[in-house]
Amino acid sequence: MKIRTKITGMAMLLVLLAAASIFGVALYQKKILERNVGTEVEQFVRSETKRVAQDVYIMCRAIEESLDQMLAHGLKVAMELGVRRGHLDFNGPDSFTWQAVNQFSGESHRVVLPKVKYNGHWLGHNTDSTVPTPLVDEVSELQGMTCTVFQRINEAGDMLRVATTVPSLDGSRAIGTYIPRFNPDGSPNPVIETLLRGEVFSGRAYVVNDWYQTGYQPLWDASGSRVVGALYVGKKHESVASLRRVIQDIVIGKSGYVAVIGAQGEQRGKYLISKGGQRDGEDVFKGDDPSLKSFRLVIDKAPSLGSDQPDKVTPTLYYKYPWQNPGETQPRRKSASIAYFEPWDWVIMVTAYNDDYAQIQQRMASPLAHMIEWIAWVAAVVIVLSLLIGYYVTRGIVRPLDEAVAIFDRIGQGQLDLQLNVTGQDEIG
């Protein structure tokens, strides 16, 4: 191998090694940065959805506390009008035959009970909401909430509505309906259990045909030893329109949203609040989609999260899953933070679509791609320049040697009068 080839090859090898090393390190760092960017974006989505879930939980708790205070005041007003200033009598000599209807099953039976009188006058059997009923209408007008007078039916503790402003499905007063001691699944009804203990019930309860935030005050007989009835005040959950609007107006990313799904009982798996209200009441548990299996498991886990405690953060659950809305051609990957508001049995789901955040990753990855392009172009230019410079440097080194070799060959052939003119100051000169 000639010296020219050796020198040129060595120079090119060093340049190529340097360029390949720089390019390889850049590619490796690009992959690391892309992975880190993906991790950071996921952490951002996770923290954002978690924060919104906790904020919605706090809003629910604030509204519940406000409703409880309002209902507690409403009960005081009802007690003041019905017991302290007025007089409710459950043990008069006259009786009335009621067609008592179970509010859960719809089953009915006849029951004969003493007429409940208010200030000496029977409350009546008024189903017409346009005709006033004493006490309950007055409380409703003063407090802006529904009101009911209950009469105990039997020793079990079933409570019959004998006067009420709670509407039935047809808009009439829901008198004649009763709360049974036991729910359809055989479990004790918490309202009746609390009243029979002589305690005030406050919280979410099923009333006739919907869920209400309620307050129930037990009423005692003259001896104070037996609960003979109850006073009720309540407001529909749906009446908290401002909270529903706030939840429906929240947008996560470009198309993410907040939904509320029931976790237990009759509302298990049903949309209570959906995006734009379009799927309210729909049972999301129905269907054969395999992705629903893990989704159901997450909803069922939600009640085990519990509620927040003083000085502790509201617990949440993070979950990733595919989801396909009606009208979409294929499922999209979603991430969700889930919180559970136990008083209302609300599973609060703050969801974000992963592709909404793809542009963030692309914007952060784009400079890295441009950096690699610039490194490649710079490496190519350096290689070309190295070839040119190496060529001229090698030629400057090798040309005197070639001349010397040619002279030496001719001297070896007997031409001893030849002279090698070298003017350089290097080793060859």
Confidence of residue 361 (pLDDT cuts 50, 70, 90): low
**Candidate from 29-38, 112-121, 136-145, 149-158 with smallest mean pLDDT:** 29-38
Displacement of CA 363 from its chain's centroid (Å) = 27
**Candidate from 134-148, 242-256, 372-386 with smallest mean pLDDT:** 372-386
Distance CA 218, CA 147 (A): 14
Q: Which residue has the higher pLDDT, 298 or 80?
A: 80
For residue 200, pLDDT beyond 80: yes
Q: Which pLDDT tens digit goes with each residue over 238-293?
A: 657 788 888 989 998 888 899 999 888 778 888 888 888 888 888 887 766 666 77
- Which tokens sit at 116? 């409940």
Q: Which residue has the higher pLDDT, 211 or 162?
A: 162
Compute the average pLDDT of residues 106-110: 94
Amino acid 194: pLDDT: 96
Q: How many helices (H) and strands (E) does the chain have?
A: 6, 16
Residue 395 DSSP code = H
Q: What is the mean pLDDT of the chain?
A: 84
For residue 134, give Cα distances in angstroms to 87, 159, 174. 12, 19, 15
Q: Which pLDDT tens digit goes with each residue over 37-61?
A: 667 778 888 888 999 999 999 998 8
Confidence of residue 307 (pLDDT cuts 50, 70, 90): low
Instruction: State the greatest distance between any 2 C-alpha atoms of the chain, in Å, as a whole number.
Output: 157
Amino acid 88: pLDDT: 93
For residue 310, pLDDT beyond 50: no
For residue 107, give Cα distances in angstroms to 3, 100, 351. 109, 8, 41
Distance CA 27, CA 246 (A): 46
Amino acid 188: pLDDT: 93
Confidence of residue 158 (pLDDT cuts 50, 70, 90): very high
Compute the average pLDDT of residues 110-133: 94
- Residue 322's nearest CA partner among 283, 302, 292 is 292
Which segments within 45-94 are labelled E, that is strand?
A: 88-89
Q: Check: CB of residue 183 under 8 Å from CB of residue 105.
A: no
Q: Which residue has the higher pLDDT, 111 or 36?
A: 111
Displacement of CA 111 from its chain's centroid (Å) = 47
Residue with tokens 């060595």: 10
Beta bridge partners of 270: 283
Q: Check: CB of residue 238 under 8 Å from CB of residue 167.
A: no
Amino acid 214: pLDDT: 94
- Which tokens sit at 105? 């099953």
Q: Which residue has the higher pLDDT, 415 or 179?
A: 179
For residue 36, pLDDT beyond 90: no
Q: Which residue has the higher pLDDT, 377 or 127?
A: 127
Amino acid 198: pLDDT: 94
Percent over 90 (pLDDT), the chain: 37
Question: Which residue ranges form the domains of the chain, and what is each CATH number?
Answer: 39-67+241-359 (3.30.450.20), 86-239 (3.30.450)
- Residue 356's nearest CA partner among 23, 45, 17, 13 is 45
Amino acid 76: pLDDT: 94
For residue 94, give Cα distances in angstroms to 120, 160, 368. 12, 17, 89
Distance CA 345, CA 425 (A): 95
- Residue 115's nearest CA partner among 98, 136, 134 is 98
Amino acid 260: pLDDT: 92
Which segments within 266-316 are labelled E, that is strand?
A: 271-273
SS3 245: helix
Confidence of residue 326 (pLDDT cuts 50, 70, 90): low
For residue 367, pLDDT beyond 50: yes
Q: Check: CB of residue 38 under 8 Å from CB of residue 361.
A: yes
For residue 318, pLDDT beyond 80: yes
- Residue 343's nearest CA partner among 25, 22, 63 is 63
Compute the average pLDDT of residues 326-353: 85
104-108's contacts with Cβ under 8 Å and 24+ in sequence apart are 104/180, 104/183, 104/184, 104/206, 105/184
Q: Which residue has the higher pLDDT, 125 or 334?
A: 125
Beta bridge partners of 178: 102, 160
First to last CA, the chain: 24
Residue with tokens 């090393």: 21
For residue 110, pLDDT beyond 70: yes
Distance CA 23, CA 139 (A): 80
Q: Which pLDDT tens digit goes with each residue over 165-179?
A: 999 989 999 999 999
